[in-house]
């Protein structure tokens, strides 16, 4: 498939991956982020890796997700 057009091309994406994930190797995360960058505005794609993280989450990742949400979604009253 070709690039996404219109307003959806500008959607911000945060992709997170542990560098020790035994289920989904980091290489697949890297390939996925490159595919995303070919479909939407690559400037809007952020790929974060976390040292020592397996197929799970960590506090650093959760803080990055919170910052991403705070930046891109309007506050709830």
pLDDT, block means (10 residues), the chain with 77 residues = 80 97 97 95 97 97 97 87
What is the tally of structural domains in the chain? 1
**For residue 2, what pLDDT is reported?**
67
Write down the pLDDT at residue 52: 97
**6 in a domain, yes or no?**
no
Residue 6 Rama label (left phi>0; alpha psi -120 to 50; beta): left
Residue 53: its pLDDT value, please? 97
pLDDT of residue 76: 83
Q: What is residue 75's predicted lDDT score, i.e. its pLDDT?
A: 83
Decide: 45 and 13 in contact? Cβ < 8 Å: yes
Domain ranges, residue 44: 13-55
| pLDDT of the residue at 44 | 96
Position 18 scores a pLDDT of 97
pLDDT at 50: 98
CA contacts within 13 A on the Cβ side of 45: 18
The helix (run of H) or strand (run of E) holding residue 31 is: helix 26-39
Torsion of CA 19, 17, 64, 71, to 10 degrees: 150
């Amino acid at each position: 498939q070709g690039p996404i057009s219109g307003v959806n091309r500008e959607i911000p994406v945060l992709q997170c991956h542990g560098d020790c994930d035994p289920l989904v190797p980091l290489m697949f995360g890297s390939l996925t982020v490159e595919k995303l960058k070919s479909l939407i505005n690559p400037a809007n794609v952020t790929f974060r890796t976390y040292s020592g993280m397996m197929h799970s989450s960590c506090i650093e990742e959760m803080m990055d997700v919170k910052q991403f949400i705070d930046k891109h979604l309007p506050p709830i009253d």
